Amino acid sequence: MTEYGITSKLTSYLFISLVLNVFLASTTFASSAKFAGDTLSLPYLLVGNDLYNVSLRLVKNSDPLDLKLLSFYKYSSQVPVAANTTPVFSGNVLSIPVLRSANKSYQLQLDYIEGQEVFRLLDSVVVLKNSTDGVMCNYIDSTPNNQQSLTITSKSEWGCAGEKRTLNANGIPDHDVGVFPNANNPNAISKQSVSAEFPLAPVGATDPTQLGGPRGVIAYVLNGVKVDAGTAGTCGDSGASCSLAGGQGSWSIEALGQAHFDFGDDENHAHVQPGGAYHYHGIPEGFVTKRGGNSSEMTLIGWAADGFPIYARYGYSVAGDSSSSLKLIQGSYKLVGAVSDSRPSVSLYALGTFTQDWEYSEGLGDLDECNGRWGVTPEFPQGIYHYYATDSYPYFQRCVSGVVEMSPTLGGPPPGGPPRGQ
């Protein structure tokens, strides 16, 4: 069937009302194809110079695999699409460069059989790997410091070899920092020995893994400074006994987003651990500025323990469409609705003071429980799972969605897996 023929056939099916027409025209679609249940959804399909929103349904018990046209909509105005991920129908072949299904990405081609009015699998389905090889593989930085609290040169060196991304650094920040020690943080910044490995082809895990603190380093920013969003601060149930370091209480104090406890963090949402390790609890503002981060472009700032990239603050408004506008990315956490009877009184410590005050609410924001999502980025135009450092809770991820490998300074989850929600 010719491109004209398929266009004519689509037109013959067109029954969508004007109201639905207006609704669809004002709705934002993800550009990548998705398969769920028995339906293949193609938010954007190029047929000649025309753009359609098309759905195909799997023909039950078909062998070979066949799909039939379920519904469609022709866009009435020009819609910018991402060239690398947009399916195309040409010469009776439907080519799908990226198909998302069950959190995996595939590439496939379907042949349109005109006599049977079905789309049939043309070749074997290709599983797309999440390779990060070639991205930031030669990031080397040496930045002298001449600050009141810091005169040590920051050094970080990233490389890619075999199946690993490597980091060697001294853990010293490469931007302006606050005064350390200070009244609320008695520790001075000192050199660290950072040597870590990350998978170059990260793989999604069945369940998220909680990291941070004693569980192991969850991520490193490109300057070699670690991410550690949680704290060791706790309060007992009564709230009368609280400690900002090494506490034994059951209520974990948040470093950011609360006004009751001051951890002595600076404008980079960072402070210093007793061993001299400067680390980030939230967006590393000084580093983002150094990288030229702004609202007009996505900014890659680091790598998580599972090998997936981390971006700062801004992402595409449509996750799978690089032609969509950038937006301020929001986490998907909210304050709990039911306050535990064992919690210190909210009249003493407002909601948001403790980690347990927050709960994940799917669909509330843009991200999953690990502050990540699948989508296209400037470095990965075909799409990849990636994390965000956000202005909203949890600021930096507290878990990773991919498989974590052991590494000297990344560490790993304790035997039996890490405890959840602590």
Amino acid at 40: L
Q: What's the mean per-residue pLDDT of the chain?
A: 87
DSSP per-residue string spanning 195-263: EEEEESS--EEEEEEE-SGGG---EEETTSPEE--S-S-EE-TTSS-EESSS---SEEBPSSS-SS---
What average pLDDT does this structure show over 50-73?
Answer: 91
pLDDT in tens, 348-407: 999 999 999 999 999 999 999 999 999 999 999 889 999 999 999 999 999 999 999 865
Show the beta-strand stretches assigned E in 102-227. Answer: 104-113, 118-121, 126-128, 140-143, 154-161, 164-169, 194-199, 204-210, 219-221, 226-227
**Residue 234: closest CA among 219, 244, 222, 225:** 244
Distances (CA, A) of 125 to 106, 122, 286, 392: 7, 9, 44, 39
pLDDT in tens, 196-226: 999 999 999 999 999 999 999 999 999 999 9
Q: How far apart are CA 302 and CA 313, in angstroms?
A: 13
Q: How far apart are CA 67 and CA 110, in angstroms?
A: 9
pLDDT attached to residue 105: 82
pLDDT attached to residue 85: 78
Note the pTM of the prediction, 2 decimals. Answer: 0.82
34 contacts: CB under 8 Å, gap ≥ 6: 40, 41, 99, 100, 101
Contact in structure between 309 and 379 (CB atoms under 8 Å): yes
262 contacts: CB under 8 Å, gap ≥ 6: 184
- DSSP, collapsed to helix, strand or coil, labels residue 358 as strand
Contact in structure between 322 and 378 (CB atoms under 8 Å): yes
Q: How far apart are CA 126 and CA 105, in angstroms?
A: 9
**Residue 296: closest CA among 331, 327, 322:** 327
- What count of residues does the chain have? 422
Domain ranges of the chain: 3-128, 140-402
What average pLDDT does this structure show over 141-146?
Answer: 98
**Residue 318: closest CA among 43, 46, 29:** 29
Q: Check whether 184 has a pLDDT greater than 60.
A: yes
Report the range of poorest mean pLDDT among 1-15, 42-56, 297-311. 1-15
Side-chain half-sphere exposure of 268, counting CA atoms within 13 A? 24
Q: How far apart are CA 312 and CA 303, in angstroms?
A: 12
**Residue 395: closest CA among 190, 240, 219:** 219
Contact in structure between 271 and 262 (CB atoms under 8 Å): no
DSSP 371: S
What average pLDDT does this structure show over 310-323?
Answer: 93
Contact in structure between 313 and 307 (CB atoms under 8 Å): no
Q: What own/partner pairs with CB < 8 Å and gap ≥ 24 does 232-235 have?
A: 233/261, 233/263, 235/344, 235/349, 235/354
What tokens appear for 196 in the block?
A: 């870590």
pLDDT attached to residue 407: 56
